[in-house]
Amino acid sequence: MDKIAHAAHHDPACILGRQAGNTNTFILFYSPDTLELRLSDLDVVTQRIPGTDFFIYHGDLTSLPEHYRLSRIDMQQRSHDYHDPYSFAPQISDYDLHLFAEGRHFHIYNILGAHKKRIDGISGVHFATWAPNAERVSVVGDFNDWDGQRHPMMSRGGNGVWELFIPGLDSSALYKYEIRNRDSGEVLSKTDPYAQQMELRPRTASVITEQTDFAWQDEAWLAQRKDSDWLHEPLSIYECHLGSWQRDENNDFLNYRELAHRLVDHVQETGFTHIELMPITEHPLDASWGYQTTGYFAPTRRFGNADDFRYFVNYCHEHDIGVLLDWVPAHFPKDEHGLARFDGSALYEHEDPRRGEHRDWGTLIYNYGRNEVKNFLLAGALFWLEEFHIDGLRVDAVASMLYLDYSREHGDWLPNPHGGNENLEAIAFLRELNTATHELHPGSMMMAEESTAWPQVTRPVNLGGLGFSMKWNMGWMHDTLEYMSKEPVHRKFHHNQLTFGLLYAFNENFVLPFSHDEVVHGKGAMVDKMPGDTWQRFANLRLLYTYMFCYPGKKLLFMGCE
């Protein structure tokens, strides 16, 4: 009882709720800031244990429903009526826990997180999270004054999963997890890694959402996609950052629905087949363009809610435009409310910064060898394909995943068990990712932003490759852009920059990208890279694009380049 009062008990369900005593059954409650606590079904007042915030009821409970109601009068004389959360048994099956521990639960986002449920006729929200090094995990929110003493969660044992069903909660309530580390006693406030909606930045709470019956009308597109072979069909991709493509008259972000109509009109007029969105997974920093993700299962609130984004995808599909999504499994930010040291330990990342920290970006690197972390990422990818009908993912920064010494000095990295610089765990993860997406969603595309000469990136997994559908041809892009930026009189000395790419043009299934990376950080517009006066620059740029569209490989242009 003392541990519960100090919010340090690992399994409050063994103390709270209906318990069997030596002589009779009793019910124990912990209710701070309470004047009176009444068992509504029996219309009796429980007794406060002197000097504590515990209340107890002894007596005949045969007529008491399994899920009894309580009436609480707080210190401000306000009345609260609710079902006792600790009258509900754990809801997660042992089979679900087993699959998660093995890293093979592709729909774990339906188990972990916050989900509206109806149990034995009683509506509420089921919360679950993974925090194996926690001594105590509580649900805190605007419904309990963000007090970690009110709703401590039930531990499911050595697998590290915690869960609690809280009756009576509605959609749109704000919540976080308050986590106490079992070794240090440090108390952390964390957003839900599996939350499907978050507050608009700079606020960081997760938001309870209710599954909606969105009326998808893209059956024809999905059926056609399933039978499509994009390797042998035209593919022209328009890369777009929704936050800066267009805004309203007040310079505020447009809604996903408004963007759908404007973007589809534009890409149809300019002849693109697909829109590739820079990350719209939730992220706290606008300047990161979405590449420092904190909400892997939540479309960013900057442009609307989840159904608004479903409308965006549905509208694109109705007009024969595919939607690709930039997805970032290579690293995650250090924000205190996010995944970093989630339960007070290096949980999603490696403990050793030589494996767990990306020096260039100031971010953390996933521990791909941990089954639960791998499962988190696999489910995160499949979530967008299944719940939002996304047509494919462009996987960011693959090179940084493949090499343990990526952008590191000598002595600042750890070799694999064979002494090499290959990240064997990341390789296994990427193969499993591509296998799962292709098997479960035929016709979907997986594209790798891989900037090195790693072999067989687009070769099938069963033939020893990584299994991607396509790979960005970064070498072609750099050589061609450098050649075209030279004065024509000098180009005859650099024809090798044109011919070299043909030596490997068919080694992989390539996408030819003139992406956002070529026009950011002061690099200037594409036309400004060309030589000559204004007319000559535009003529050179037209020539560059003509050459690109005649060259083997699929095409990608960043917004504005068109």
Cα 562 to Cα 559: distance, rounded to the nearest angstrom:
7
Q: Respond yes or no: is residue 482 known to be catalytic.
A: no
Active-site annotation holds for 36: no
Q: Which residues is 152 bridged to in the sheet?
A: 138
Q: Is the link from the previous residue into 202 a cis peptide, with omega within 30 of 0?
A: yes
Helix (H, G, I), strand (E, B) or coil at 460: coil
Helix, strand or coil, per DSSP, at residue 395: strand
Q: Which residues contact 549 (CB under 8 A, 6 or more apart)?
A: 555
How would you label 105-144 residue by residue, b for 16+ Cβ within 10 Å and e otherwise?
bbebbebbbbbeeeeeeeebbbbbbbbbbbbbbbbbbebb
User: 109 to each of 97, 116, 127, 193, how far by Cα in Å?
Assistant: 13, 13, 11, 9
Cα separation values, 388 from 259, 306, 319, 401, Å: 16, 9, 16, 26
The kind and range of the H/E element at 453 are: none
- Spacing of C-alpha 92 from chain mean position: 22
**Residue for token pair 């267009």:** 246
Looking from the CA of 485 toward its CB, the CA atoms found within 13 Å total: 14
Helix (H, G, I), strand (E, B) or coil at 316: helix
Phi (first) and psi of residue 263, to 5 degrees: -65, -45
Helix spans in 169-235 (H): 219-226
Identify which of 393, 389, 278, 380 has the alpha carbon closest to the alpha carbon of residue 339: 380
Dihedral pair phi/psi, residue 140, rounded to 5°? -125, 150
Vertex 66 angle, CA 63 and 68, to 5°: 80
Q: Which of 449, 479, 508, 518 is catalytic?
A: 449
Strand partners, 364: 332, 357
Q: How far is residue 510 CA from its own chain's centroid? A: 27
Of 356, 314, 360, 364, the residue nearest 336 (C-alpha): 364
Which one from 396, 432, 479, 508 is the annotated catalytic residue? Answer: 396
Nearest to 273 by CA among 309, 225, 241: 225
**514 in Cβ contact with 477 (< 8 Å):** yes
**Among 63, 62, 67, residue whose Cα is nearest residue 121:** 67
Cross-strand bridge partners of residue 448: 395, 471
Q: Which two tokens stand for residue 67?
A: 């899920």
Catalytic residue IDs: 396, 449
